[in-house]
Amino acid sequence: MKRCTKSLWLSTVSVVAVAVVVLLMWNLAIILFDLPAILLPTPWRVLEAAFNERVSLFEGTLVTGVAATAGLVSAILLGSALSILFSLSEMIRRALFPYVVFLQTVPIVAIAPLLITWSGYQFRTVVLVTVIICLFPIVNSVTAGLMSIPKDLDDLFRLYGAGRIQRLLRLQLPSAVPDLIVGMKTSSGLAVIGAIVAEFFVGNGSSYIGLGTLMTGWQAFQRTDALIAAIFASTALGLLLFASVNLFAVTILSRWRT
């Protein structure tokens, strides 16, 4: 218990110390290079801008958070379903898995305008972009988990007459839980990125206002202080989503081990 408390204390002190060093270097860079506020405002000005735009930042963070969460959950459900399908049929896996890889390799900024053409300047477009960017880690991890069952366990299930569906439900799916968690953690970091990238485009033609929309507007009006405040808000949102997934993972894994 004491060792755990000491480790937590050291981690907290380390994080705070790094933050202090970054703030000092930030101010020092402004002084040494005589940087104007339009290029790099002081931390105090960023804090002031965050306070003045607190309502917009809160609402934008909420909108982006809902879109990112919806996209992440949809990617988890769709990715898990595809992975199960891939584990049941090698032919389907060989036919469809390359297209899942294709979605991962195509730059999202290249297909976002096309998705807007098809789906419109809507909330669902942001969710769709988030699903695309989050899908591959889920499919890749869960498929690997479902396909890497120890041969002795599989032989034991077959020996007792377990059918294909029984082996899937009682052996493969429980064994793939840790791999699902890994995919979820990876995708949770990508979800906010995907949502904000989509908002850069969606916000141009609708009343939809997320963090990406705010960033685009503040960049156009050269409000660097508010832009940096929005960046910090998006970072906090990403950390919150990752922490939520991590908490869910700890809960699931504790039950999985028992």
CB atoms within 10 A of CB 62: 13
What's the full length of the chain, in residues? Answer: 258
Quote the pLDDT of residue 12.
Answer: 80
Q: What is the mean pLDDT of the chain?
A: 89
Residue 66 has pLDDT above 60, yes or no: yes
Average pLDDT over residues 14-23: 89
Q: What is the percent of the chain where pLDDT is above 90?
A: 62
CB atoms within 10 A of CB 36: 10
Do 51 and 106 meet the contact criterion of CB atoms below 8 Å apart? no
Higher pLDDT: 153 or 223? It is 223
Higher pLDDT: 154 or 106? It is 106
Quote the pLDDT of residue 8.
Answer: 63
| Sign of the CA dihedral running 145, 146, 147, 151 | positive
Confidence of residue 7 (pLDDT cuts 50, 70, 90): low
Average pLDDT over residues 151-180: 81
Quote the pLDDT of residue 58.
Answer: 97
Residue 212 has pLDDT above 70, yes or no: yes
Lowest mean pLDDT among 12-21, 60-69, 80-89, 156-165: 156-165
Residue 141 to residue 151: CA distance in whole angstroms: 19
Residue 105 to residue 110: CA distance in whole angstroms: 11
Average pLDDT over residues 223-232: 96
